[in-house]
Amino acid sequence: PTATGLTIYPNPFTSQASIGFVLPQAGRATLEIYDVQNRLVQRLFAGSAPAGERRQFTLAGSDLAVGMYLVRLVTSSQVYTQKLVRVN
């Protein structure tokens, strides 16, 4: 499913992307970046988050090679996935 609470901007990106999420109910969440071979590239967040509060993270383009990635937000009740593309 797509996440109304998961945002990526800009996408595609060059130097940096802003990735954020809002949980509909309080609980644990993990926000991770995977490559197209489903290998974990970076973990941006792992912990508890309150309901309705936006968590925002900046991803540096220098941390990723040019290509397509998957941003995965895992909560206690749902898994949200969105594509992320880094370009030159």
At residue 11, the pLDDT reads 97
Average pLDDT of the chain?
A: 93
Amino acid letter for position 66: V
pLDDT for 63 equals 87
CB atoms < 10 A from the CB of 17, how many?
A: 23
- CA of residue 37 relative to chain centroid, distance: 17
Q: What is the pLDDT of residues 42-64, one digit of tens each?
A: 999 999 999 999 999 999 999 89
CA distance linking residue 75 with residue 65, whole number of Å? 27
Closest alpha carbon to 57 in 2, 4, 18, 10: 18
CATH architecture of 6-86: Sandwich (2.60)
State pTM to two decimals: 0.90
Residue pair 67/36 in contact (Cβ under 8 Å)? The answer is yes
